[in-house]
Amino acid sequence: MRVPPTVQLVLFGGGGDLAHRKLVPALYDLHREGHLPAEVDVVGVDMAEMDDGGFASFACDAATSLGRFFPKDAANQDWDAFEERLAYVQGDVTQAETFERLRERLDALAPDGEAPHRVFYLSVAPFLVEPIVRGLTEAHLLDDIVRSRIVIEKPFGHDLESARALDRTLTETIDESQVYRIDHYLGKETVQNMLAFRFANVLFEPIWDARYVDHVQITVAETVGVEHRGGYYEGAGALRDMVQNHLLQLLCLVAMEPPVAFQADEVRNKKVDVLRAVRPIAPDRVHEVAVRGQYGSGFLGGAEVPAYRAEPNVDPHSTTETYAALKLEVDNWRWHGVPFYLRTGKRMPRRVSEVSVQFRPVPHRAFPAGADEAWQPNRLVIRIQPDEGIVLRFQAKRPGPSMLLHPVAMRFDYDDAFETPPEAYETLLLDAIRGDATLFMRADQVETAWEVVQPVLDAWADSPPAEFPNYASGTWGPAAADRMLAHDGRSWFEPLPPDPTPAGMAPEAAADARPASVAQEG
């Protein structure tokens, strides 16, 4: 889809943290790379007392702090051109007069005779979504269904009931096609690469089903604690913050059927089909298929770190989970009987997001006794972050006079094959400007995802944990998560190391060989 010739992008919360860290730098990068139209206005709206010049200084600091360009006293024509497109409206979004001033400012900035496309990005607390949508509607800024749209950040509700209430609020005033629910995980290049890997190559799709796949593991691990987000996290927890959105979206990309065409509704329909096929979790089975945890004190990187309950703005007796693991089953023809294990946690040994697809063993091993003592199952690992890439594990003969098998890894490294991928927000902002909703969440998708996790939320609310904290910082989570897989005769994979050196090869030689390397796995 082409970028419209005239665009006005309004950032509600334009003076906030997300705008500073992600949105403004992403917009500047898009401008610098020539992806934005010449006629573009970026208008910040916030309570902070600033004028156009103050907002430009805020934006300059945001871009400079992330190394986008040299300090402003150096010649920079790209920045000068971008700065000319910045404007600011100060006001309280609960007051109608703020939207009247915004409409007047947008009309004054618009070229004569052209109806601009308007994107309203709501980088605000959830309770401000309703008054902003109402204010925009009453100011007639959302009347044009084709040229106006809003972008909403997660969380999309706190549970199933609140998600439905939010959707009713939105659809009572605007058309669903105008709502772009953003999940920044879907903007990551390696997440999108899962679609290309599956549907642009004939090699793996024929074996991408229950006949050949034993199970799937999805891991999103963080080394950080809650940092400054204790106040927010106390009301959220790992299940709401990560599983209901990010991890279930990854599950959809792994399990979805091939789309007829790469079009927004077609792709999103296939994702909803997956969520609807997830077997409902019965209340009396939650303890069998769901595990929660909370980190205690421990060591990371050689330094001692505090327990969750000792973090700022956290209840010293908190029962909020910082770790969640689920076993889900997709009851359809392709995946019947294949478990999907999802886990996420804070204060874990390594920061990594990956999808591991383990294939079934060969039906018969026709090798001499002892030849396959080091046998490991075939496994495909899609690394989302960091060290983005794909790893395929298979068996190979170890050099020598005897038939001895050893697991090895064939690696594709994203950075070696391509240029550094754009930030997720660059991709998603550009799609919102173009009106491409493929990577954004639709109302039925959000509600169905809540339906998947709601039984777990209800069961955990009814029976607060007595054993928190139940895993030490710097470990891979509570023992109960290991037992959940052990009950099925399986175990969690420890994420593959980012850049292993093949046996017998010097590190510098291994680095040279990485684009086409086959590395031994221990």
Residues marked as binding for NADP(+)? Answer: 92-93, 154
Q: What's the rounded Cα separation, in Å, for the pair 391 and 130?
A: 45
Indicate the angle between helix axes 424-434 and 24-32, nearest 10 degrees: 70
Annotated binding-site residues read 92-93, 154, 184, 188, 222, 241, 346
Q: What is the 3-state secondary structure (H, E, C) of 203-247?
A: CCHHHCCCCCEEEEEEEEECCCCCCCCHHHHHCCCHHHHHHHHHH
Q: What's the rounded Cα separation, in Å, for the pair 157 and 123?
A: 15
Retrieve residue 173's tokens: 């005033």
Residue 363 to residues 211, 359, 366, Cα–Cα distance (Å): 12, 12, 10
User: Is the Cα dihedral 356, 359, 361, 362 positive or negative?
Assistant: negative
Annotated binding-site residues for substrate read 184, 188, 222, 241, 346
Q: What is the 3-state secondary structure (H, E, C) of 374-441?
A: CCCCCEEEEEEECCCEEEEEEEEECCCCCCCEEEEEEEEEHHHHCCCCCCHHHHHHHHHHHCCCCCCE
What are φ and ψ of residue 349, in 5° steps?
A: -60, -30
* Active centre residues (catalytic): 246
